[in-house]
Chains A and B, each alone.
Chain A
Amino acid sequence: MKRLLGRTLPIGAIFFLHLAAPLSAWATQGHGQPEGLYAHQMAHLFFIVSMGVLIYWLRDRNLIAIPGWRFIQYSALFFILWNVDAYTAHYIEEQIDLLRIVRQDPWRIEIQAPEGFRWLPYLYYLAKLDHLLSVPALIFMYLGLKRLLNATDVDKGGIRL
Chain B
Amino acid sequence: MIVSSVPIWAVDVFGSICMIILAFMCVRLANLLRRRDRNNIIWTYLFWVCTALAVFAVSRSAGHILKQLLILSGDASEWNRIRPYSGAINTLTFMVVGAITLFFQRSWSIYRQIASDKQDLQATRDKLLYLNQNLENLVEARTEALAVSEHKYRRIFETSRDMILVTQMNGIIVDVNPAGREMLGLHAADKKPKNFQQFFSRESDWRSVRTSLKEYGFISNAEIEMLCNQNRSRTLVSGSLNHSATNKAETIHFLVKDIEQKRLTEEQIAQADKLASIGQLSAGIAHEINNPLGIILGYTQLLLRQEGNESEKYHDLKIIEKHVRNCKGIVEDLLNFARTSTPKKASIDIAEALDEVLRFVRHHANLDHIEVVRDYDSKAPPMRLDEKKIKQVFMNLIMNATHAIGKSGRLWLSTRYLPEPEQMIIQFIDSGYGIEDRNLSRIFDPFFTTKPTGEGTGLGLSVSYGIIKNHGGEITVESDLGRGSIFTIRLPYEETQGELHHATKHSDCR
Interface residues of A (CB under 8 A from B): 36, 39-40, 43-44, 46-47, 49-51, 53-54, 57, 61, 76, 103-104, 106-112, 121, 125, 128-132, 134-135, 138-139, 141-142, 145-146, 148-149, 152, 158-159, 161
Interchain CB contact under 8 A, A131 and B91: no
Q: Is the CB of A131 within 8 A of B4?
A: no
26 A–B pairs (Cβ distance < 8 Å), ordered by A: A36-B87, A36-B88, A43-B98, A47-B98, A49-B98, A50-B97, A50-B101, A50-B102, A76-B101, A104-B2, A107-B6, A110-B1, A110-B2, A121-B3, A129-B11, A130-B15, A131-B18, A132-B15, A138-B19, A138-B53, A139-B22, A141-B50, A142-B22, A149-B32, A152-B33, A152-B37
Does B395 have its Cβ within 8 Å of any Cβ on chain A? no
B33 pairs with A135, CB closer than 8 A: no
Q: How distant is the Cα of A64 from the Cα of B97 in the complex, in angstroms?
A: 21
Partner of B95, one of A43, A107, A149: A43
B333 to chain A, nearest CB (A): 103
Partner of B22, one of A129, A135, A148, A158: A135
Binds A, one of B23-31, B247-255, B319-327, B460-468: B23-31
Other-chain residue from A57, A125, A138 in contact with B108 (beta carbon distance below 8 A): A57
Query: Is B105 at the interface (CB under 8 A from chain A)?
Result: yes
The answer to whether A128 touches B8 (Cβ under 8 A) is yes
By a beta-carbon cutoff of 8 Å, the part of chain B in contact with chain A is 1-9, 11-12, 14-16, 18-19, 22-23, 25-26, 29-30, 32-33, 36-37, 40, 42, 46, 50, 53, 57, 71-72, 84, 87-88, 90-92, 94-95, 97-99, 101-102, 104-105, 108, 111, 115, 118-119
Contact A47 B5 (CB under 8 A): no
The answer to whether B87 and A121 touch across the interface, beta carbons within 8 angstroms, is no
B87/A40 in contact, CB under 8 A: yes
Query: When chains A and B are docked, how far (Å) is the Cα of A158 from the Cα of B32?
Result: 13
Once A36-B88, A131-B16, A141-B26 are accepted as A-B contacts, the answer to whether A46 and B36 lie under 8 Å apart by CB is no
Taking a contact as CB atoms under 8 Å apart, the answer to whether A129 and B7 are in contact is yes
Q: Would B33 and A149 count as touching, CB distance under 8 A?
A: yes
* Residues on B with beta carbons closer than 8 Å to the beta carbon of A109: 2-3, 5
* A149 CA / B292 CA spacing, docked (Å): 126
* Set A43, A53, A149: member contacting B102, Cβ < 8 A: A53
Q: Are A57 and B2 in contact (CB under 8 A)?
A: no
Q: Point out which of A111, A112, A158 has the most chain B C-beta atoms below 10 A from its C-beta.
A: A158
Q: Whole-angstrom distance from the CB of A123 to the nearest CB of chain B?
A: 12
Complex Cα distance, B91 from A135, in Å, reads: 18
- Would B99 and A142 count as touching, CB distance under 8 A? no
Most central of B33, B71, B72, B119 by chain A CB within 10 Å? B33
Q: Let me know if B19 and A50 touch, CB within 8 A.
A: no
Assembly CA distance A50 to B6 (angstroms): 33
* Residues of A contacting B90 in the complex (Cβ-Cβ under 8 angstroms): 40
CA distance A46 to B92 in the complex (A): 11
Tell me the smallest distance from the CB of A12 to a CB of chain B, in Å. Answer: 40
Nearest chain A CB to B92's CB is how many angstroms away? 8
B91 touches A129 (CB 8 A): no
Apart from the given pairs A131-B15, A158-B36, 18 other A-B contacts in the complex at a CB distance below 8 Å:
A43-B92, A43-B94, A47-B95, A50-B101, A53-B102, A53-B105, A54-B101, A103-B5, A107-B9, A111-B1, A125-B3, A129-B8, A131-B11, A131-B19, A132-B11, A146-B29, A149-B36, A158-B37
Q: Shortest distance in angstroms between B47's beta carbon and chain A's nearest beta carbon?
A: 10
Q: How far is the CB of A36 from chain B (nearest CB, A)?
A: 6
A57 close to B104 (CB less than 8 A)? yes
Residue pair B11, A107 in contact (C-beta under 8 Å) = no
B30–A145 touching, CB < 8 Å? yes
By a CB distance below 8 angstroms, the chain B residues around A129 are 7-8, 11
- Which of A49, A50, A145, A146 has the most chain B CB atoms closer than 10 A to its own CB? A145
Give A76 to B8 CA distance when docked, in angstroms. Answer: 24
Docked Cα-Cα span, A83 to B104, in Å, equals 20
Residue of A nearest to B15 (CB): A131
Q: A131-B16, A132-B15, A141-B53 are in contact. Are A50 and B105 (CB under 8 A)?
A: no
Q: Quick one: which of B29, B91, B105 contacts A40, CB cutoff 8 A?
A: B91
Q: How far is the CA of A150 from the CA of B19 in the complex (A)?
A: 23
Smallest distance from the beta carbon of A147 to chain B beta carbons, Å? 10
